[in-house]
Chains A and B, each alone.
Chain A
């Protein structure tokens, strides 16, 4: 966990007081809606279909037990008893009242949580790998660099009114769990041949109505140059990014229109002018940030302790262990993913009671630390293997031990038309119906890793372009229709899915997805060929022929 200092606490308290005053002036009529709207958006407050929505940032996906417990409190006292974890490591409360917002924000600020940088044309919440500092794969803790970016970007005056929102993701592992290639800037932390730490810098990735995979503009940027190089990118974007058309204002459009090479040249020229200035990170500055991350005092333990071996005789525990428990960098420990996708439930939602349970379990078994992943699941990054049986029993009792992580019913979904003012179609009920088709988890396990992503409109908050099966809701003559794509992926081999065929109706989607999966089961080279690899080998045509013949 990163330990906030007095400056952070004072800043958040001032911000809450400022917002309280703004809300008061809005309610009194001193501020018009046009005047108030940008102010509330800068604090993560949206007006959705039937209520205000408060979006809270979870910087680099890391939460303390105290913070999660406070979120449960806000859900219980100021909302309807639940929250929704998003694809950008945020949480949203969907039923918050404007006149109660200052109190809710004050409660959150007491534990260092806020909605700043969750809306508006600024640098948004910086995201990273939910397994940071736990996975043996990584070369450094990517959160150090995400925190440096957070401190640099928060309320940065030059980047508060960018042409459009700006999203940065960081990974330090070979396997990319942060989807860096579909962000405005993706940073891959690695070491060069000399053992020095640095970043591969990718720009111009993004989804939405014009999706692109990011282009690499620098294979190795010394880590200490991070801020000056990011500032150079931001300045080039700020100068040349389009402000005349909201649909062409993201950096991906600029990079696409002038080409990655030209964009890179402009960045390098800007960087040459500023690289030795105030943004050059000194060893002391980096160490200061690094020192504020408090790491667990791990015990010296052996892998596969007797308690774990004994518990594995229970088939239910063993199934969950195979699915949801992952290798930790410290012997005798494990990373645990907590599925927020119980079959038939809204993906990514957790009740206040469930949040409290996870907070309690994090305190008891996981050094009080919780992570949120872009897949809309939670994670306990540091659990002693001997504690896994007791942890599982407690999670199971709270409905939080569904062993379907990375399976066909671990569906990523935006809120869709059930909540969102921008959506064309529903998304959550589509996810629920598909999940129910694969409620037999033995069948889902037989299918293997398969990511389904659903978006209720072209804005693509459900990241449908990079789903192994992507589902996009479109409206035609007042009816809900859905386009299906196959073969997308969000990892280090990121690519956009290929359209399968004509859009189908709401009622047809679950059956069509089932047919796609059945076709895969028939066509795959063997049980070890994943869905995504079968699509890569055969293309979408064999799927199209079979699926559309059946519908």
Chain B
């Protein structure tokens, strides 16, 4: 399975750019201000391939904060709240779907 970074970009709805934080690998989202946030709610959301590619290109210019940026689907609620757009992103946001050993 190719990682999202290696797949052809398809934009069929709202998307955001996500990556992993360099220092600890935490999931981060590209913000409207051009930074990174661990909160999906802060993500810049676009709906066209051109806008997504522009966001991705900007995100990839500096790799010191975040690693491996790619375009990920998001869901926008009626109240504007953002949620991950597929299972992979749900797991990235919420963690494994089972109770971790403790």
Contacts and interface: CB of A to CB of B under 8 A. Distances in A.
B101 A99 contact: no
A351 interface: yes
A424 B91 contact: no
Closest 8 CB pairs of A and B: A418-B96, A82-B101, A51-B25, A97-B24, A52-B25, A33-B63, A457-B1, A349-B101
11 contacts: A27-B23, A29-B64, A33-B67, A49-B92, A50-B91, A82-B101, A82-B102, A97-B24, A345-B101, A417-B88, A418-B91
Contacts of B96: 418-419, 428
Contacts of A47: 20, 25, 67-68
Interface in A474-499: 475, 478, 480
A98 B23 contact: yes
Contacts of B63: 32-33
Nearest to A53: B25
A81 interface: yes
Interface string A427-444: 011001000000000000
Contact of A51 (B24, B86, B88): B24
B26 interface: yes
Interface string B66-102: 0110000000000000000011100110011110111
Contacts of A82: 100-102
A429 to B, nearest CB: 5
Given A50-B91, A98-B25, 10 more contacts: A49-B88, A50-B26, A50-B92, A345-B101, A346-B98, A346-B100, A428-B98, A429-B97, A478-B86, A478-B87
Contacts of B102: 81-82, 351
A343 interface: no
Interface residues of A, number: 39
A31 B27 CA distance: 21
B84 to A, nearest CB: 12
A333 B86 CA distance: 53
B33 interface: no
Residue from the set B1, B87, B88, B102 with the largest chain A CB neighbour count within 10 Å: B1
A422 B3 contact: yes
B97 A418 contact: yes
Contacts of A98: 22-25
Nearest to B21: A98
A458 B23 contact: no
Nearest to A33: B63
Given A27-B22, A27-B23, A350-B101, A50 B95 contact: yes
Interface in B16-71: 20, 22-27, 63-64, 67-68
Contacts of B23: 27, 97-99
Given A51-B26, A458-B1, A478-B86, A346 B20 contact: no
Interface string A50-93: 11100000000000000000000000000011100000000000
A47 B92 CA distance: 12
A288 B26 CA distance: 47
B39 to A, nearest CB: 14
Interface string A215-236: 0000000000000000000000
Interface string A342-366: 0001100111000000000000000
Interface in A97-131: 97-99
A424 B3 CA distance: 10
Contacts of A190: none
Given A99-B24, A422-B3, A49 B101 contact: no
A418 B98 contact: yes
Nearest to B73: A478
Contact of B1 (A27, A50, A351, A459): A459
Contacts of A538: none
Nearest to A28: B64
A247 to B, nearest CB: 11
Interface in A1-53: 26-27, 29, 32-33, 47-52
A33 B68 contact: yes
A459 B1 CA distance: 8
Nearest to B27: A50
Contacts of B64: 29
A429 B26 CA distance: 22
Residue from the set A51, A81, A424 with the largest chain B CB neighbour count within 10 Å: A51
A421 interface: yes
A81 B101 contact: yes
Nearest to A473: B1
Interface string A444-481: 00000000000001110000000000000001001010
A296 B17 CA distance: 57
Contacts of A350: 101
A426 interface: yes
B26 to A, nearest CB: 7
Contacts of B86: 478
B89 to A, nearest CB: 9
A48 B27 CA distance: 10
A49 B91 contact: yes
Contacts of B3: 421-422
Given A33-B63, A52-B24, A458-B1, A417 B101 contact: no
A349 B99 CA distance: 12
A470 to B, nearest CB: 17
A480 B87 contact: yes
A34 to B, nearest CB: 8
A99 B54 CA distance: 31
Contacts of A400: none
B6 to A, nearest CB: 10
A353 B15 CA distance: 42
B64 to A, nearest CB: 5
A82 to B, nearest CB: 4
